[in-house]
């Protein structure tokens, strides 16, 4: 071995990677690599054209993290890279059967492909939740390299039918971890550090337990670990990242904060989300301007640990949603991606209720503009639900807010929490505000109308495409749902949702909503593809003014088969 070649860490017993490397935010010329290490160190990323890219770790709750920012890359680059910790190579690992990890910048010729999904239970020995769509996707990509079967298109004509293989971006739209539905491996970890019967029983309790959740989700399967190292990944949380029904209502929040264990849970959940997910969503410029990032790093340098700063920030973010923005937007060529936080930024007070607080909605309103070829709006919760469920949730909101009296309001709240009735339809005012924005964009009232305005969502554990039919717009407006990556509905839950997706089922719930004086929705839509209830991953392909989508399901642990496809516009 050449003296300049770093030696694998496993042979030296030196500093090692706990998680990562994860390829996170990318643009045409920049890239972000995120890692967790087992001790403080210098993290260096090397490769042709990368230059001098290194960063020292910072420490939170005894865990060590680094973000390495790389600039000056070429648009559309595919740069193999390695990671060294204190000069010793840590990635790739010896004996790996996966191709070299590459930094993949955006731009260049060809379509933009966004693969997405949600609701992924961690691998477990019993395989109770079926084949993992994310792992099968990774194996599929590893087997094809950078070439789609049949080759890449040579010009700007129509892309080949099978050119869906390598995504430019992986978007995970919620429930990356399940803090309240634990695997046996996670339960064993908890038993090793506290009495598992003490509240919160069979749930994670604090930051430390969250770190183990992330390790199980992103390290245990080598295919998934490789995928995250080589495909740029963006995320947003949903309820199970914190707890089922997170921020369902003002009543729910009061109930949770009355629990003596909740403070450690919510600060651990939000703080770990900030570390493991949110930091990588940010551009280098946004991260450099973020006062929390600067304060955590400064506290880590001065006192050895930034935990106090992060915990205070996390508690404030929960109690004062307007103090933090988790939503973000990125422009990629002719496409704008808006990722909306529909969980932490809710407005829930004794007298007001909104899916987004005032500041968050103003931000979203400002991002919803024309002049793009395509506008993608990602929300963990589907904006356009099957009509029966939409009417049921809008009726329930009116009932819980007192439309049928105080006694019925208490019953409505109980039903809301028991049946998870807390999607956009259960925030009727917010649904209407977003509809007004989308229609304005799609009619060309905010600049030239895009070819498509498409919502990307997960959460509900089945997949479909719904199209807006009224009012008429220049843009095609649709909802694409892909869920779950690994956590399918079974038994009566699957049956109930299959019945709910039938067009005839909507009439009784529409009547209930009408009797509760809920005005008709400002949009009309219908499901045109699906529903499919299997584990799945979807890819949206944007090519000039064309948009199409493909859903795939894992036929085996290492391969995908097509579940459905559609032309959006």
For residue 562, give the 3-state DSSP assignment: strand
In this prediction, residues 272-283 reach a mean pLDDT of 98
Judged against a pLDDT cut of 70, whether residue 431 lies above it is answered with yes
pLDDT, mean of residues 256-285: 98
- Name residue 42's beta-bridge partners: 56
| Omega before residue 296 within 30° of 0, cis | no
Q: Residue 152 above 90 pLDDT?
A: no
Looking at residue 122, what is its pLDDT?
87
pLDDT at 18 over 70: yes
Average the pLDDT over each of 11-15, 17-21, 67-71, 124-128 and give the range with the smallest value.
11-15
Nearest CA to 209 out of 219, 199, 194 is that of 194
Whether 143 has a pLDDT exceeding 90, the answer reads no
d(CA 243, CA 268) in angstroms, rounded, equals 12
Q: What is the pLDDT of residues 288-311, one digit of tens each?
A: 999 999 999 999 999 999 999 999
Query: Does position 461 have pLDDT exceeding 70, yes or no?
Result: yes
What mean pLDDT do residues 106-129 have? 89
Q: Which three-class secondary structure state does DSSP give residue 541?
A: strand
Please give the share of the chain, as a percent, with pLDDT higher than 70.
94
Handedness of CA 166, 169, 173, 177 (dihedral sign): positive
How many CB atoms sit inside 10 A of residue 23's CB?
24
Percent of the chain with pLDDT over 90: 87
Give the tokens for residue 347: 């407005």
Mean of all residue pLDDT scores within the chain: 92
pLDDT band at residue 128 under the 50/70/90 scheme: confident
Note the Cα 339 to chain centre separation in Å: 9
Q: Which residues pair with 525 in a beta bridge?
A: 468
Check residue 132 and give its pLDDT. Answer: 96
DSSP assignment of 350-387 equals SS-EESS-HHHHHHHHHH--SSSSEEEEEESS-SS--H
Starting at the edge strand found earlier in the chain, the sheet holding 476-481 runs 328-332, 335-340, 374-379, 452-457, 476-481, 463-470, 524-532
CB contact set of 33 (below 8 Å; sequence gap of 6+) = 20, 21, 22, 23, 24, 43, 45, 53, 67, 68, 70, 81, 83, 103
| 171 has pLDDT over 50 | yes
Predicted confidence at residue 109, as pLDDT, reads 83
Q: What is the pLDDT of residue 395?
A: 96
pLDDT at position 163: 41
Start-to-end CA span in the chain (Å):
55
Q: Which of 120-129, 143-152, 365-374, 399-408 has the highest mean pLDDT?
A: 365-374
- The enclosing H or E element of 123 equals none
Q: Which two tokens stand for residue 54?
A: 């290194």
Nearest by Cα to 348 from 383, 313, 321: 321
Residue 4 has pLDDT above 70, yes or no: no
pLDDT top residue among 261 and 493: 261
Over residues 495-504, mean pLDDT: 87
Q: Reply yes or no on whether the pLDDT at 337 is more than 80.
A: yes
pLDDT for the residue numbered 155: 34
Q: Whole-angstrom Cα distance, residue 376 to residue 334?
A: 11
Amino acid 144: pLDDT: 44
What pLDDT score does 162 carry?
Answer: 44
Please, which residues bridge with residue 524 across strands? Answer: 470
Q: Is the pLDDT of residue 468 over 50?
A: yes
Q: How confident is the model at residue 513 (pLDDT cuts 50, 70, 90)?
A: very high
- Per residue in 363-418, pLDDT (tens digit) is 999 999 999 999 999 999 999 999 999 999 999 999 999 999 999 999 999 999 99
pLDDT in tens, 61-94: 999 999 999 999 999 999 999 999 999 999 999 9
Label residue 13 by pLDDT band (50, 70, 90).
low
Q: What is the pLDDT of residue 127?
A: 79
């Amino acid at each position: 071995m050449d003296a300049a070649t770093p030696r694998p860490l496993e042979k030296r017993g030196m500093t090692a990677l706990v998680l990562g490397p994860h390829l996170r935010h990318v643009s045409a010329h920049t890239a972000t690599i995120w890692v967790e290490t087992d001790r403080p160190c210098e993290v260096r990323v090397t490769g042709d054209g990368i230059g001098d890219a290194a960063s020292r770790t910072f420490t939170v709750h005894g865990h060590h993290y680094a973000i390495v920012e790389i600039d000056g890359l070429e648009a559309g680059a595919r740069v193999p890279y390695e990671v060294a910790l204190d000069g010793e190579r840590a990635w790739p690992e010896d004996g790996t059967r996966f191709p070299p990890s590459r930094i993949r910048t955006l731009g260049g010729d060809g379509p933009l492909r966004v693969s997405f999904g949600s609701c992924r239970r961690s691998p477990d020995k019993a395989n109770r939740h079926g084949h993992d769509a994310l792992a099968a996707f990774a194996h599929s990509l590893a087997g094809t390299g950078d070439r789609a079967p049949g080759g890449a298109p040579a010009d700007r004509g129509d892309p080949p039918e099978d050119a869906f293989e390598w995504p430019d971006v992986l978007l995970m739209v919620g429930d990356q971890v399940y803090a309240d539905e634990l695997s046996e491996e996670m339960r064993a970890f908890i038993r090793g550090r506290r009495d598992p019967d003490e509240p919160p029983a069979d749930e994670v309790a604090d930051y430390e337990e969250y770190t183990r959740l992330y390790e199980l989700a992103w390290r245990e399967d080598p295919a998934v670990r490789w995928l995250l190292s080589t495909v740029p990944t963006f995320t947003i949380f949903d309820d199970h990242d914190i707890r089922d029904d997170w921020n369902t209502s003002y009543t729910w929040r009061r109930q949770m904060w009355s629990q003596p264990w909740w403070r450690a849970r919510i600060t651990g959940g939000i703080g770990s989300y900030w570390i493991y997910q949110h930091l990588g969503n940010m551009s280098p410029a946004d991260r450099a301007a973020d006062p929390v990032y600067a304060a955590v790093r400064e506290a880590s340098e001065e006192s050895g640990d930034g935990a106090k700063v992060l915990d205070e920030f996390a508690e404030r973010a929960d109690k004062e949603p307007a103090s933090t923005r988790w939503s973000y937007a990125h422009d990629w060529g002719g496409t704008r991606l808006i990722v909306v936080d529909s969980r932490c930024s809710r407005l829930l007070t004794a007298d007001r209720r909104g899916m987004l607080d005032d500041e968050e909605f103003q931000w979203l309103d400002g991002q919803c503009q024309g002049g793009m070829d395509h506008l993608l709006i990602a929300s963990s919760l589907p904006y356009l639900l099957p009509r029966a469920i939409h009417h049921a949730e809008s009726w329930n909101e009116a009932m819980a807010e007192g439309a049928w009296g105080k006694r019925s309001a208490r019953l409505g709240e109980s039903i809301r929490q028991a049946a998870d009735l807390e999607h956009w339809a259960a925030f009727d005012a917010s649904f209407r505000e977003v509809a007004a924005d989308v229609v304005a964009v799609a009619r060309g009232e905010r600049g030239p109308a895009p070819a498509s305005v498409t919502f990307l969502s997960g959460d509900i554990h089945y997949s479909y495409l719904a199209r807006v039919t009224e009012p008429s717009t220049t843009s095609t407006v649709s909802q694409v749902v892909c869920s779950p990556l690994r956590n399918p509905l079974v038994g009566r839950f699957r049956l109930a949702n299959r019945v709910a997706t039938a067009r005839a089922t909507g009439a009784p719930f529409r009547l209930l909503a009408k009797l509760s004086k809920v005005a008709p929705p400002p949009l009309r839509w219908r499901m045109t593809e699906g529903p499919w209830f299997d584990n799945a991953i979807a890819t949206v392909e944007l090519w000039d003014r064309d948009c199409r989508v493909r859903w795939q399901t894992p036929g085996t642990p290492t391969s995908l088969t097509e579940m459905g496809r559609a032309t959006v516009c």
